[in-house]
Amino acid sequence: MGSITLNGVEKWFGDVQVIKGIDLEIKDGEFVVFVGPSGCGKSTLLRMIGGLEDTSRGAIEIDGANVTDQPPSKRGLAMVFQSYALYPHMSVAENMGFSLKMAGAPQEDWRAKVDEAADILKLQSFLDRRPKDLSGGQRQRVAIGRSIVRDPTAFLFDEPLSNLDAALRVEMRLEIARLHRNLQRTMIYVTHDQVEAMTLADRIVVLEYGKIAQVGTPRELYEKPANLFVAQFIGSPK
């Protein structure tokens, strides 16, 4: 459960090719970080994996099944973005349980899932509050909680911390690392922040204008950057 394979994946917006033949195998439970400068295609590639963007060429497999033409709802993935809209009129618990409720889960079932997620995210004492009575970090936790309750096979994060201040970013980064240890689920995490990439990743994928410049562990990239682009990006002395 939770392996993701990209075979020759390409994306064109009109005449412009923004993703250029990406081959990648992500193992079950792996924490993979996509890094690269603004505009290199990180979000587009992540959205293609999630099914929010069509794939122009190539194939995407989840657990060996070809999902290239499947809608997001059939992929079993959860997506967490930097901007996360919570419902202001609902409590934290209702926000977190909303998708299960909509899918027809009885109250005791969705509530049990919410309690489980709240435990993991240390949100137990906030479940009856409204989003406006939470801090930025707590709101981001609720957004993550919303995705946990659905028990996804993998999590896709697109710069989830970039709207938070520096201190909170560090705190939430540790939180996400803890979440990964706890759940042991596949996570794909997009960031342009080298520190986030180096500290969170099992493997880092460096993207350069829609192509993979290098894939490797943080250590491999730091010690043996494939080229100057990677070296400069990772901040290693080449």
By the criterion CB under 6 A, which residues form the site for ligand ADP? Answer: 13, 18, 36, 38-44
Nearer to Mg ion, 100 or 197 (CB): 197
- Could you tell me the smallest distance in angstroms from the CB atom of residue 41 to ligand ADP? 4
Q: What tokens were used for 81?
A: 């973005």
- Could you tell me the smallest distance in angstroms from the CB atom of residue 190 to ligand ADP? 7
Nearer to ligand ADP, 13 or 87 (CB): 13
Nearer to Mg ion, 8 or 39 (CB): 39
d(C-alpha 217, C-alpha 232), whole Å: 16
Beta partners for residue 139, in sequence order: none
3-class secondary structure per residue, 202-227: CEEEEEECCEEEEEECHHHHHHCCCC
Residue nearest to Mg ion (CB): 43
d(C-alpha 170, C-alpha 238), whole Å: 28
Nearer to ligand ADP, 3 or 82 (CB): 82
- Could you tell me the smallest distance in angstroms from the CB atom of residue 111 to ligand ADP? 36
Residue ranges binding Mg ion (CB under 5 A) = 43
How many CB atoms lie under 10 A from the CB of residue 215? 16
Q: Work out what residue 41 binds among ligand ADP, Mg ion, none; the CB cut-off runs from 5 to 8 Å by kind.
A: ligand ADP
> For residues 64 and 3, is the Cβ–Cβ distance under 8 A?
yes
